[in-house]
Amino acid sequence: MSSETIALSTVGQDARPIGERLHEWVVTVDHKKLGILYIVYGIVFLVIGGIEALIMRIQLVVPQNHFVSPQVFNRLFTMHGTTMIFFVVMPLLFGFGTYLIPLMIGARDMAFPRLNAFSFWMTAFGGVLLYFSFIGGYGLFGAGNAPDMGWFAYAPLTARAFSPGHSTDFWTLALLISGIGSIGTAVNFIATILSMRCPGMTLGKMPLLAWLNLIMGGMVLLAISPLTAAQIMLSIDRYLGGHFFDTQAGGSAVLWMHFFWIFGHPEVYILVVPAFAFASEIIPVFSRKPIFGYPVMVAATICIGFVSFSVWAHHMFTVGMSAYGNTFFTVTSMIIAVPTGIKIFNWLGTMWGGKIQFKAPMLFCVGFLFQFLIAGLTGIMLATSPFDWQLGNSYFVVAHFHYVIVGAILFTIFAAFYYWFPKMSGRMYNETFAKWHFWLFFLGFHLTFDFMHIPGILGMPRRIYTYEPGRGWEIWNLIVTIGVFFQTAGVLAFVANLVWSLWKGKPAGNDPWDAWTLEWSTSSPPADYDFAATPAVRSRRPLWDLKHPEDPDWKYE
């Protein structure tokens, strides 16, 4: 059944002039095209943000290095952080959501197709604006300049006394505008999932990917708002004589921290919940079993969604909160480990007793499970506020959140790439190249981020462009930098694989993985209208029911 192929109607047969085809991508309101635009946009910025990281690691390979100046280094880490969070991971996750949600719930498009296009172009404009600061940051003063106050832009570094140019304004506007895009996407996800499901698909029969993106959408609405408010307040401070964060005029630097982190911490979960969604779709298919404990998975995610809004000040354990404040945020931060642990165990339960096939998507998901386990455990260490007084703002923290964002989120994004690439392109990727990608990236990841914990324990703070010799940090920084080259090689294998497979890959067929959700019932790539006839479902795995009429899921759910 799975090896059966159908005629590829759209691949390689488009004879229209290139200008017309590009124009179609610019004006499109089709969720599939917009999803792919988001993804391509995310990959472009992934490469840019990766190059910034590479330059920083070359600077830090030996103490007292002069590869880049302190000013350039400070811009690099600011741009690297801002880029990776707002213009790589969010677009990639939104891209997959935009592409997959209608297909997985049996709809023909999103609820608001034009809002969908608007959201993408706002996000895209935000990224372009941020990078324009490299050439236009000082405006009329001449030399270019990029933001250099760190991605969380603590006041009062952003006040005009300390950031006299326009680089801070580019950063502020870029996040404001892409935030509008994010809110549009969140509204669209919520509306689509709540009102566009095909007949028979009750909330309890939705694929977990739809559930998790629904929760993510709600979190985006709540979390982006304080960020947007803070950006507007910052602009008022800078241009209209406000004093919200201007400490020289009685403002509060700590107020900015609260605003930023009540966005910033839920943001981590906004990023990781869709990553959980990928794992929750891919692990069952490659273990040949349904997800273990579906209702608990949903409940745990909702719980994470709620609790994530009460943990923000664990980023602020060192700012001199009272003992009661520190105690409160310690307990909320630790509690979030419980639903997160449940999810890890449920994925383990899904694999238990299955017949696991180690294709590239599953390899990346297994890597995710191991790394997310470690990221969670170092998270518990950091939630222990006295321990955080030592580890906070050190390289230990840098290693911890890269374990989350690379080891967990980026690994599942790579898994999602390989898993849905056949659906999006109509062609199979090259499995050998994909395995090279996995092992190179896996090795590079562990060389870099395992060893990055150690200089933090030895007292190395983050965001320093150079360091003193003789503090025991040299060897660890060398290893960390070596790992980056392996990661770079892995990403090159990935990009090469994508490009090669797009032209030369074998036709994939509708359902190359023998999977169970609705997107695999339509052609690859799907026609503009997604489904010729609206599907109707009776269980969470409609294609299982179709393939196993003697033993359908709906008898058990």
- Whose tokens are 């929760």? That residue is 215
Residue 174 or 375 having the CB closest to other proteins: 375
Contacts of 517 (CB under 8 A, 6+ apart): 104, 207, 209, 281, 541, 542, 543
Residue 101 or 515 having the CB closest to other proteins: 515
Residue 112 or 345 having the CB closest to other proteins: 345
- Residue 295's SS3 state is helix
Residue 239 or 389 having the CB closest to other proteins: 389
Distances (CA, A) of 46 to 92, 391, 545: 10, 28, 39
Nearest approach, Cβ of residue 517 and other proteins (Å) = 15
Residue 471 or 506 having the CB closest to other proteins: 471
Nearest approach, Cβ of residue 7 and other proteins (Å) = 28
Nearest approach, Cβ of residue 457 and other proteins (Å) = 6
Residue 178 or 350 having the CB closest to other proteins: 350
Nearest approach, Cβ of residue 184 and other proteins (Å) = 32
Could you tell me how many residues make up the chain?
557
Query: What is the C-alpha separation between 450 and 457, in angstroms, rounded?
Result: 12
Nearest approach, Cβ of residue 78 and other proteins (Å) = 9
Contact 425, 11 (CB under 8 A): yes
Contact 205, 557 (CB under 8 A): yes
Residue 224 or 336 having the CB closest to other proteins: 336
Contacts of 367 (CB under 8 A, 6+ apart): 407, 411, 438, 442
The candidate with the shortest Cα–Cα distance to 123, out of 115, 135, 112, is: 115
Query: What is the C-alpha separation between 315 and 337, in angstroms, rounded?
Result: 16
Residue 43 or 366 having the CB closest to other proteins: 366
Residue 44 or 335 having the CB closest to other proteins: 335
Nearest approach, Cβ of residue 344 and other proteins (Å) = 7
Nearest approach, Cβ of residue 258 and other proteins (Å) = 13
The candidate with the shortest Cα–Cα distance to 241, out of 297, 334, 130, 159, is: 159
Residue 192 or 378 having the CB closest to other proteins: 378
Phi and psi (nearest 5°) for 384?
-75, 95
Residue 273 or 298 having the CB closest to other proteins: 298
Nearest approach, Cβ of residue 195 and other proteins (Å) = 28
Residue 8 or 538 having the CB closest to other proteins: 538
Nearest approach, Cβ of residue 250 and other proteins (Å) = 7
The candidate with the shortest Cα–Cα distance to 305, out of 218, 207, 368, is: 218
Nearest approach, Cβ of residue 150 and other proteins (Å) = 5
Residue 194 or 348 having the CB closest to other proteins: 348
Nearest approach, Cβ of residue 267 and other proteins (Å) = 19
CA 217 and chain centroid, separation? 14
Contact 317, 393 (CB under 8 A): no
Q: What is the DSSP string of 231-294?
A: HHHHHHHHHS---SS-GGGT--HHHHHHHHHHHHHHHHHHHHHHHHHHHHHHHHHHHTSPPTTH
Residue type, 362: M
Query: What is the C-alpha separation between 416 and 236, in angstroms, rounded?
Result: 41
For 12: left if phi > 0, alpha if psi spans -120 to 50, otherwise beta; the answer is left
Nearest approach, Cβ of residue 442 and other proteins (Å) = 7
Nearest approach, Cβ of residue 131 and other proteins (Å) = 22
Angle at 525 between CA 521 and CA 531, to 5 degrees: 45
Q: How many Cα atoms sit within 13 Å of 221 on the Cβ side?
A: 14
Residue 392 or 512 having the CB closest to other proteins: 392
64: number of Cβ within 10 Å: 8
298: number of Cβ within 10 Å: 19
Nearest approach, Cβ of residue 337 and other proteins (Å) = 6
Prior bond to 525 cis, omega within 30? Answer: yes
Contact 402, 449 (CB under 8 A): yes
Contact 456, 392 (CB under 8 A): no
Structure tokens at 47: 């490469």
